[in-house]
Structure 1
Amino acid sequence: MSDLLWQKAGTRTDERVMRFLAGDDVRLDREFFLYDIAASEAHLEGLAHIGIVSEDERHELMVELENLAWDFRNGQFVLDEKYEDGHSAIEAHLTERLGDTGRRLHTGRSRNDQVLVATRLWLKAKLAVLHALCIDVAKIALDRAAASPLPLPGYTHLQRAVVSSTSMWFAGFAEAFIDNTQRARDTLAWIDANPLGTAAGYGVNLPLDREHTSEVLGFARLQVSPVYAQLSRGKFELAALDALGSALLDLRRLAWDLSLFTTAEYGFVALPAEYTTGSSIMPNKRNPDVVELMRATYASVAAARTEIEQLLSLPSGYQRDLQFSKGALVHGFARGLAALELLPDLLARMQWNETAMRAAIEPSMYSTDVAIEQAAEGVPFREAYRRAAAAADEAGQGRTPEASLAARVSPGAAADLRLAELNARLASLAA
């Protein structure tokens, strides 16, 4: 490990202790490294604005930071275990290249506000991806809802209940992902605050140009209080995981439907071949492994959320416990976004089996229609309910799924899906 930034003269370090302290930081910081460099460039410009570094020093440091970013992107600079973390790697590189000039960049900042700003920039990028994926899912679901509907059994308690349609199924998940789009956007806006310049949580005795760094880094506003900058750590990560988890909860239920609908017992859906795998021993099998792992992915986000939440039983000010939040956050977003990236194509290409769905619609599934029709003619609903229950096996006489769906005129139901309203809401969130 390279010289430690915080090493004091005359003190000794224990390699076992250092390995424990560093943990996975260097490996995880590869995720944040380019954001840390971008924040370093913004901080450098701010220092130049207040005369802490000269124009020549600013130019030299900026060139080296740009070169470091280029080398990292192209694999010529490797962030590995010879560094304590990404922050130390930046300073070590600049010092090696520029000597004392390289040592000037850290003036007025701490690794505390470095990790805060890099994490917020990283999360803004991840939430933008989440926002875009939710839009893609909602668009495809709305498009398929607008296509010719097919009769589909509607279930409650996993029991056949009423006649539904493929359009209603798609419209339901479309609106779910419209809500998820809004949550991703709103969470991004909440996180969009700049902590750079709050240092270790108490500010510094320099007139740092924090408004300039906010503008350069694309933040909407300052995170004003240095104390709150530290108090917010963990809190904003949880909010981002909640936004991701909201989408994955809907994915889990959608995946459960497809897991059931693809069984031979249902036979309602055929998945694209690429989304299934074979058995290692049973030649006859094609398994919906992708759908099953989509269903499982929420567990990773829930675990990440729990891990971070359990770290937050802390007093104010920075505590090293918070280092462990980084791995949970990276892991949760990696798995969550990977699952969601597969969903738009899956929804676009899955195929319904109309014959199997029609065959599963049994006469008793029209009983609710019968009861409501009688109630509309003046029969008290509980009496109409009793009559329909007594004659449930005959409820389908003279009825078709199409007629049942066409009569379902309540707003949002099969005859009035309000797809234009949903499309307009989605368009407003995509703007």
Structure 2
Amino acid sequence: MSDLLWQKAGVETDARIMRFLAGNDVLLDREFFLHDITASKAHVEGLARIGVISTDEAAALERELDTLAQDFRSGAFVLDERYEDGHSAIEARLTERLGDAGRRVHTGRSRNDQVLVATRLWLKEKLDALATHCRAIAAVCLERAAQPALPLPGYTHLQRAVVSSTAMWFAGFAEAFIDNALRARQTLGWIDANPLGTAAGYGVNLPLDREYTTTALGFARMQLSPIYAQLSRGKFELAALEALASALLDLRRLAWDLSLFTTAEFGFVSLPPEYTTGSSIMPNKRNPDVVELLRASYATVAAARCEIEQLLSLPTGYQRDLQFSKGSIFHGMTHGLAALELAPDLLARMHWNQPAMRAAIEPAMYATDVAIEQAAAGVPFRDAYRAAAAAAASAGEGRTPERSLAERVSPGGGADVRLEELASRLASLTG
């Protein structure tokens, strides 16, 4: 491991303790490294603006930071166990190449605000990706909802309930993911605050140009209080995970439907072959493994949320416990986004089995229609309800699924799905 930034003269380090302290931090920092470099460039520019370093030094530092980013992308520079973390690696590289100029780069900042700003930039990127995936899922659902509606049994308590349709099913998930995209954008706006320049949580005795770095890094506003900058670590990560979890809750329910609908007992849906796998022992099997793992993906995000929540039982100020939040946010966000990315193609290519769906619509599923018709004609609803219940077995006489759907005129119902309104909401979230 390279020289430690915090090493004090006369104090020896214990290799076992150092391994425990470092953990897999330097490996996780590979995910945040380019954002750390970007923030370092803004910090260098800010130091030059207040005269702490010269313009020539700033230009040389920025060139080396750009070169480091290129080398990292190409594999010429590897962030590994030689370094305590990504922050140390940046300073070590700059010092190696530029001597004293490299040693000045840390003036006015701490690894605390360094990790905050890199993580914040990374979270903004991931929340933007979350909004993009949710919009893509909603768009596919709207496209398929606009196709001719096929009658589909509607269930409550996993029991056949009323006549529904494929259009209503897709419209339901379209609206869900429109809301999820909106929540992702709102969360991004909430965390879009620049912590760079708050140092270790109490500011520094320099007139740092924080307004400049806020603009240079593309943040909407400055996070003013250095103490709140530290308090927000973990809190903002939780908010991002909660936005992701909201989308994965809907994906879980969608995947549950497909898990049921693809069984032989239902037979409503056929999946694209690429989304199924074979059994290692049973030649006859094709298993919906992708759908099942989509269903399970919420668990990864929930686990990440739980771990961070447990870390946050802390007093004011930075505590080393927070190092463990980095792995949680990385694994939760990475896996959750990968799951959502698969959904649009799956939804676009799944196939409805119309005969099986129609065969599952039994006469009793029209009983609600009968009761409401009687109530609309003046019969007290409870009386109409009891009469319809008593005659449920014959409720389908003279009725068809198409008629049931055509008469469902309440907004959002089978005859008034309002896809145009949903499309307008989706359009408002683009760009």
TM, length-normalised to structure 2: 1.00
SS of corresponding position for 2:428: helix
Q: Secondary structure at the match of 2:153?
A: strand
Which residue identity is paired with 2:131?
A: H
Alpha-carbon distance in structure 1 between the residues aligned to 2:59 and 2:122: 26
Per the alignment, residue 170 of structure 1 pairs with 170
Shift of 1:56: 1.1
Q: For the residues of structure 2 that align with 1:101 and 1:399, how far apart are their CA atoms?
A: 83
Would you say 1:371 and 2:371 are equivalent positions?
Answer: yes
Q: Secondary structure at the match of 1:430?
A: coil
Q: Which residue of 2 aligns with 1:87?
A: 87
Which amino acid in structure 2 is aligned with residue 135 of structure 1? R
What is the letter of the counterpart of residue 270 of structure 1? S
Equivalent residue runs for 1:229-240 within 5 Å? 229-240=229-240
Q: What is the CA-CA distance between 1:204 and the residue it aligns to? A: 0.3
CA positional deviation for 1:331: 0.4
Once the 2 structures are TM-superposed, how far is the Cα of residue 356 of structure 1 from its aligned partner?
Answer: 0.2
Other-structure match for 2:105: 105
Residue in structure 1 matched with residue 193 of structure 2 by the alignment: 193
Alignment partner of 1:52 is 2:52: yes
Cα distance in 2 between the residues matched to 1:55 and 1:236: 35
Superposition pairs of residues 116-265 of structure 1, within 5 angstroms: 116-265=116-265
Kindly indicate whether residue 283 of structure 2 is the aligned counterpart of residue 283 of structure 1: yes
Distance (Å, rounded) in 2 between the aligned partners of 1:236 and 1:79: 26
Q: Which amino acid aligns with 1:185?
A: R
Residue type of the alignment partner of 1:204: V
What is the Cα-based RMSD across aligned positions, in Å?
Answer: 0.5
Structure 2: distance between partners of 1:273 and 1:158: 27
Letter in 1 for 2:51: G
What is the Cα deviation at residue 50 of structure 1?
0.4
Quick one: distance in 1 between partners of 2:132 and 2:77? 31
Deviations 1:394-426 (A, max 9, x none): 000110000000000000101001111111111
Aligned partners of 1:62 and 1:170: how far apart in 2? 50
Between the aligned partners of 1:55 and 1:119, the Cα distance in structure 2 is: 28
Q: How far, CA to CA, are the matches of 2:166 and 2:247 in structure 1?
A: 21
Q: TM-score, normalised by structure 1?
A: 1.00
* Shift in Å, 1:141: 0.4
SS of corresponding position for 2:263 = coil
Q: 2-side partners of 1:131 and 1:334: how far apart?
A: 14
Question: What is the aligned partner in structure 2 of residue 20 from structure 1?
Answer: 20
Per-residue CA deviation, residues 255-307 of structure 1 (Å, 9 max, x unaligned), is: 00000000000000000000000000000000000000000000000000000
Letter in 2 for 1:359: A
* Separation in structure 2 between the aligned mates of residue 154 and residue 83 of structure 1, nearest angstrom: 58
* Identity across matched positions, percent: 78
For 1:62 and 1:124, the matched residues in 2 are separated by 23
Displacement after TM superposition at 1:429 (Å): 1.4
Question: 1: distance between equivalents of 2:365 and 2:339?
Answer: 35
Structure 1 ranges of 4+ moved more than 4 A: none
- 1:357 paired with 2:381, answer no
- How much does 1:353 deviate? 0.2
Could you report, residue by residue, the CA deviation over 1:17-36 in whole angstroms, capped at 9, with x for unpaired residues? Answer: 00000011000000000000
Distance 1:63 1:125 in 2: 24
Q: Structure 1: how far apart are the matches of 2:210 and 2:247?
A: 34
Q: 2:425 is matched with which residue?
A: 425
What SS is found at the alignment partner of 2:293?
helix
The one-letter code sitting in structure 1 at the alignment partner of 2:201 is G
